[in-house]
Amino acid sequence: QSVLSQPPSVSGAPGQTVTITCTGSNSNIGADYDVHWYQHLPGTAPKLLIYANVNRPSGVPDRFSGSKSGTSASLAITGLQADDEAHYYCQSYDSSLSGSGVFGGGTKLTVL
């Protein structure tokens, strides 16, 4: 069981919008730790997609956006494209685990 909860899968047709949620608690997201998002394609290293809740690294399209409220965070992907099909992970830290890093269980995005 992951400390951060994500839906195992989401899907959408090309051009549509999907949202992936990341639910935590008062010891991680709710404790004001930032949430970061990664895209992971098979056979490659994870790629940073969103950092500090809402920021996109250089080169990440603005189709990807992040938000955070209370003990949850969300990743929205607009204008779905076939190459968005991947696993997506949220990441934060947890004060009840001595500040250790924690990942969500991951969400598989399928582009129909």
Burial class (CB in 10 A: 0-12, 13-18, 19+), 31: middle
Spatial separation of the C-alpha atoms in residues 53 and 62, rounded to whole Å: 14
Contact call for residue 105 and another protein (CB under 8 A)? yes
Nearer to another protein, 84 or 94 (CB): 94
In the stretch 15-54, what mask flags binding to another protein with x, by CB under 8 A? Answer: ------------------xx-x-x-x----xxxx--xx--
Q: Which two tokens stand for residue 30?
A: 């709710």
* Residue 45: φ, ψ to 5°: -80, 150
Residues in contact with another protein by CB under 8 A are 2, 33-34, 36, 38, 40, 45-48, 51-52, 57, 87, 89, 91-93, 97-106
